[in-house]
Structure 1
């Protein structure tokens, strides 16, 4: 895979992350979905495996809806600009899940098959991303306090990272080649 694609993959997701967080913090929940739409259009124009990326995107969005909706419904997290609902994951956080999903087969592919590394990466990186969104931009509030929120996020993301790869590998649309390498 060309190095330029991998760099663009990382930068594209970072752009989505910042657009989502800054947009939400400023009452513009559409900024993240707009950014991920532009990023996804560019990504799918250049990706070597659209089908695999679409499958990962679907899996990650489903996981994001469940995970962040549960965190919101239980009061662990409260999202700025919670449009279109306050009790579930808002569109801007789902845009971040979508952008993140597009990194998993490319710039984050080093985690594939490395379950403990993926779990550790999620358990550390996930909470840090939410903490950065909360502390730096006021896009997220930890309703039950910082320690509980970080612990919950560590568990969620520690499970989510290896689960994303495992579900992708076992998804019905996986070909024999993808199932062996995913």
Structure 2
């Protein structure tokens, strides 16, 4: 591994610790560390191109607290098929738009995505509900 890779790995460990331990109270410092990554990275253009994915996830998580807040009242067993269909559909739409690839092919990828999203949506709804209750 190169020196930059080791530095970035250690910096990420610090970034992770600040984000998890400090949560909102240390968010400015965490944001500053993320900014430092973009200052020192040897592949700034490639890193910036990946940033849209982080923005997409942040937007989705925030949506859970507002336009998708009705999901909080949906039973867990029903969140699972909703996640399987909606999450998979979202990825497949991204594939159609050329934003993601499906290296395993359409059907194997769709099945894996459905399984993942059937677990991920209930988990994210539960975490979002708990975060808002504690805020």
Q: Distance in 2 between matches of 1:151 and 1:164?
A: 20
2:123 matches 1:163: yes
1:124 to partner: Cα distance: 0.3
Q: 1:132 aligns with which of 61, 69, 93?
A: 93
Q: Determine helix, strand or coil for the equivalent of 1:103.
A: helix
State the Cα deviation string for residues 143-181 of structure 1 (Å, max 9, x = none).
Answer: 01111111111111111111012223445x843xx7xxx
In the alignment, which of 94, 99, 102 is matched to residue 142 of structure 1? Answer: 102
Could you list the runs of 5+ residues in structure 2 that have no partner in the other structure? 1-22, 28-44
* Pairing 1:26-105 to 2, within 5 Å after superposition: 83-84=46-47, 90-105=50-65
Query: Given the superposition, is the C-alpha separation of residues 83 and 119 from structure 1 closer, same or farther in structure 2, using an over 3 Å criterion?
Result: farther
Q: CA deviation at 1:116?
A: 2.3
For 1:94 and 1:166, the matched residues in 2 are separated by 20
8 A Cα contact 1:134 1:140, kept in partner: yes
Q: TM-score, normalization: structure 1?
A: 0.44
Partners of 2:86 and 2:100 in 1: CA distance: 16
Greater relative contact order structure (CA < 8 Å, 6+ sep)? 1
User: Larger radius of gyration, structure 1 or 2?
Assistant: 2
**Cα separation, 1, equivalents of 2:99 and 2:124:** 25
* Aligned length in residues: 92
User: Is there any run of 5+ residues in structure 1 with no aligned partner, and where?
Assistant: 1-53, 59-81
TM-score (norm 2): 0.57
Q: Which residue is equivalent to 2:82?
A: 121
> How far apart are the structure 1 equivalents of 2:66 and 2:92?
25
Q: Which has the higher helix share?
A: 2
Cα separation, 1, equivalents of 2:64 and 2:130: 15
Shift of 1:95: 1.3
Report the 3-state secondary structure (helix = DSSP H, G, I; strand = E; otherwise coil) of the residue aligned with 2:125: helix
